[in-house]
Chains A and B, each alone.
Chain A
Amino acid sequence: MSEVHTHAAHTAADFAAPPELGRLQLLAIIAAVVGLALTAVGALLDHEQFFHSYLVGYVFWVGVSAGCLALLMVQHLAGGAWGVVIRRVLESASSPLMMVLLLLLFIPVVLGAHDLYEWTHAEAVRTNEILKWKAPYLNLPFFIGRTILYFAIWGALAYFLNVWSNRQDEDVAHGYIYERRMRTLSGPGIVLFALTVTFASVDWVMALDPEWYSTIFGILFMGGWGLSALAFVIAVSVFLSGRRPMHDVLAPAHFHDLGKLLLAFVMLWAYFSFSQLLIIWSGNLPEEIPWYLRRYSGGWQVLSIALIVLHFMLPFLLLLSRDLKRNARLLGAVALFVIVMRVVDVFWLIAPEAHHREASYVGHLDPLAVLFGAAAVIGIGGVWFWLFVWGLRKRPLMPLGDPLLEKALHHGQHHH
């Protein structure tokens, strides 16, 4: 290079979180109170419905955290400017404290296990050969133990990735040492993530209908959770880009990169979801097809069509545009829309399973189920989001010691 750039070292104050984040925390508290109060009303009306609604909100927000943990490890492994500018968002969404919160929020699922999971009833297991066969795996103590193990693994990964990241901020001169450590952990971490998500999706969601199975279910959740996390990260980044300090950092080139990733994840989700449908539809077997038949009638088909059109086709066509991806506001709007459709997808996976074993089951999409599902997502989301913003405000919004910091700051503006 002919020009010699002399960069003054950045300090934590250069990237201090904007005070507007405090207002978001207040909004989160309001959302938590209103959402959880409405969810509690639902519990009094119909406790089986309540636990299914709660599971919708719970699985959605675990998905954002676990997805952010996976993206964090991917960015440590792959490098690149896109990862450096979102690293603090990823770390705050998957912090060790967040994993503790999510483990505590699992308690209502355990309390509602009898309403959610047929295999927790001794009577049902005694009379059903399939449940008897599956009992060594599908039993309550082992179920609880496995969930604790998932959070122990996610929490341990999150703990080291956050602690080393903090040290990197304090010891900028040796930032590359911590970067190498985080990269070394992220390799096996991704493998552990794939395994834990597969088992978690089987335990929490597939086991709602213990006679049904789909071998692609875990991958479906990996893609879906990755998409939830990425859409969330983009929405937060767009908010931050409107204010200092991130206003001076985030350029159209960053949003272009994130938009391309979002498009890839939208297609990945559609690919996995359709693969499951095609195989089960083609086989048309009595032990597999009822799961889709429940989502094919009684109003649920509206959601099924909506998933194809609004979760795949619309975001896919919009995200093809280069101009849209480089426009922070438009990309943020698409990301928020994708988040809404992610909630619809989780709702569609879980809610039709409520009451389906009862003789009186008619399978209609109940407006109350929609209301209480939304309330649970907003209520749990409020608590989750408060802790997320708390974590984000504690530290500078950019990793000061990241070896790629300068490159990320000048992405799409200069070249080296």
Chain B
Amino acid sequence: MTNEDLLQNDDRPIYGLMAEFDTPTEVVNGARRAHDAGYRQMDAFSPFPIHELTEAVGAKKTRLPLLVFFGGLVGCVGGFLMQAYMMAVDYPLNVGGRPLVSIPSFIPVTFECTVLLAATTAVVSMIVLNGLPRPYHPVFNVPRFDLASRNRFFLLIESTDPKFNRDETRLFLRSLNSREVSDVDY
């Protein structure tokens, strides 16, 4: 495709512009330069996790750890109170003459409840915070995007970015030593 081909259908609204890179180094450098250039509404895709990439695209801190902590706390307190209520109030049972509320014997179940609620909170919160399930997403309209799960790296700048200008952004993404820049159709 030539520049003219791309510029011809400029009036058609697009989701964003996507640059393809061969190496993780290039995508991280590209994301850093895009961030330096003032772009904020962007995302990057890689076949494996790259910590620097998360920082380079300026990803905000997630609330997930805090939610998991409180999930665990609820499981811990709830698990303990559940046993105390069962053993001492609902159906008092004398086990070998021990006190009805025997803390050591409650610890394993309290621990399991902590893990159960923390893990469940983590999974459910991750799904909700990510906006899943999402059966349709525009990025898959880019024909080569399936390579993001194999050996290519992609940087996306969304059209909602205040600094987004279709022609300038395209030229900018080209200047990042990218292999190819594609429109992301809605």
Q: Which residues of A contact B22 (CB under 8 A)?
A: 2
For window 322-343 of A, CB contacts with B under 8 Å fall at 322
Interchain CB contact under 8 A, B104 and A1 = no
A/B pair count, beta carbons within 8 Å? 33
Give bound CA distance, A412 to B65, whole Å. 21
Interchain CB contact under 8 A, B69 and A281 = no
Interchain CB contact under 8 A, A278 and B105 = yes
Q: Which residues of A contact B107 (CB under 8 A)?
A: 274, 278
Interchain CB contact under 8 A, A2 and B26 = yes
Q: A1 with B69: in contact, given A277-B104, A278-B104, A278-B105 (CB under 8 Å)?
A: no
Q: Which residues of A contact B108 (CB under 8 A)?
A: 278
Interchain CB contact under 8 A, B25 and A1 = yes
**Size of interface on A: residues with Cβ below 8 Å to B:** 15
Give bound CA distance, A1 to B28, whole Å. 12
Interchain CB contact under 8 A, A1 and B23 = yes
For window 25-65 of B, CB contacts with A under 8 Å fall at 25-26, 28, 50-52, 65
Interchain CB contact under 8 A, B96 and A415 = no
Contact mask for chain B residues 87-109; partner A; CB cutoff 8 A; 1 contact, 0 none: 00000000010000000110110
Q: How near does chain A come to B94, taking the closest CB pair, in angstroms?
A: 14
Q: Does B159 touch A at the CB level, under 8 Å?
A: no
Give bound CA distance, A412 to B177, whole Å. 23
Give bound CA distance, A320 to B73, whole Å. 13
Interchain CB contact under 8 A, A282 and B104 = yes
Q: Which residues of B contact A2 (CB under 8 A)?
A: 22-23, 25-26, 177
Contact mask for chain A residues 249-280; partner B; CB cutoff 8 A; 1 contact, 0 none: 00001000000000000000000001001100
Interchain CB contact under 8 A, A412 and B96 = no
Give bound CA distance, A193 to B28, whole Å. 44
Give bound CA distance, A141 to B23, whole Å. 65
Q: Which residues of A contact B28 (CB under 8 A)?
A: 415
Interchain CB contact under 8 A, B25 and A415 = yes
Give bound CA distance, A322 to B25, whole Å. 25
Q: Does B24 touch A at the CB level, under 8 Å?
A: yes
Q: List 19 A-B contacts (CB under 8 A).
A: A1-B23, A1-B25, A2-B23, A2-B25, A2-B26, A2-B177, A3-B25, A278-B104, A278-B108, A281-B105, A282-B104, A284-B96, A320-B69, A322-B65, A412-B51, A414-B25, A415-B24, A415-B25, A415-B28
